[in-house]
Structure 1
Amino acid sequence: MREEKILVVDDEKEIRQLISIYLRNEGYIPVEAVNGEEALTILSNEVISLVILDVMMPGKDGITTCIEIRKTSKIPIIFLSAKGEQMDKISGLTVGADDYVTKPFHPLELIARVKSQLRRYLQFDKSTVEADAVVQIDELLIKVDSHQVFVGEREIKLTPREFQILLLLAKHPGRVYSISNIYESVWGEPSIAADNTVMVHIRKLREKLEENSRQPKYIKTVWGVGYKIDT
Structure 2
Amino acid sequence: MDMQLLLVEDDPEIARVIQDTFIRDGYLVTWATTGLEGLEDFQSQSYDLVLVDLMLPEMDGFTLCKNIRWKSDVPIMIISAKKEDEDKVAGLNLGADDYLAKPFSLVELKARVESLLRRWRRYKGVPELNQMTNYTNGLTINWDQNKALIDGTEVYLTTKEFDLLKVLAQNPNQVFTKSDLYQHVWKQADAEGLHTVTVHIKSIREKLKDPVKQPYYIQTVWGKGYQFVGEIR
Give TM-score scaled by structure 2 length.
0.55
Distance 1:146 1:14 in 2: 41
1:173 corresponds to which residue?
none
Pairing 1:31-70 to 2, within 5 Å after superposition: 31-70=30-69
1:146 corresponds to which residue?
129
Larger radius of gyration, structure 1 or 2?
A: 2
Matched AA of 1:51? V
Matched, 1:107 2:90: no
| Helix, strand or coil at the partner of 1:90 | helix
Pairing 1:66-145 to 2, within 5 Å after superposition: 66-127=65-126, 145=128
Distance 1:47 1:54 in 2: 19
Distance 2:46 2:128 in 1: 20
Which ranges in structure 1 are unaligned for 5 or more consecutive residues? 128-143, 148-152, 159-231
Shift of 1:38: 0.5
Shift of 1:46: 1.6
| Helix, strand or coil at the partner of 2:2 | coil
Matched, 1:27 2:26: yes
| Helix, strand or coil at the partner of 1:71 | helix
Q: Deviations over 1:92-123 (max 9, x none)?
A: 00100000000001011111111110110111
Distance 1:59 1:45 in 2: 18
Distance 1:47 1:76 in 2: 12
Distance 1:50 1:122 in 2: 11
Bigger CA drift: 41-50 or 61-70?
Answer: 41-50
2:218 corresponds to which residue?
none
Matched AA of 2:32? A
2:215 corresponds to which residue?
none
Task: Decide whether aligned partners of structure 1 residues 96 and 145 sit closer, same or farther in structure 2, where only a CA change above 3 A counts.
Answer: same
Matched AA of 1:44? Q
| Helix, strand or coil at the partner of 1:65 | helix
% identical equivalent positions: 38
| Helix, strand or coil at the partner of 1:47 | coil
Distance 2:106 2:75 in 1: 18
| Helix, strand or coil at the partner of 1:30 | strand
Distance 2:170 2:44 in 1: 26
Shift of 1:146: 2.8
Shift of 1:28: 0.6
Q: Conserved in 1, the CA contact under 8 Å of 2:70 and 2:170?
A: no
Distance 2:65 2:120 in 1: 17
Bigger CA drift: 63-72 or 41-50?
Answer: 41-50
Distance 2:18 2:27 in 1: 11
Q: Deviations over 1:114-163 (max 9, x none)?
A: 11101101111112xxxxxxxxxxxxxxxx7539xxxxx9x8859xxxxx
Q: Deviations over 1:62-97 (max 9, x none)?
A: 000111111111100000110211111100001000
Moved over 3 A (4+): 155-158
Pairing 1:5-16 to 2, within 5 Å after superposition: 5-16=4-15
| Helix, strand or coil at the partner of 2:71 | coil
Distance 2:27 2:118 in 1: 13
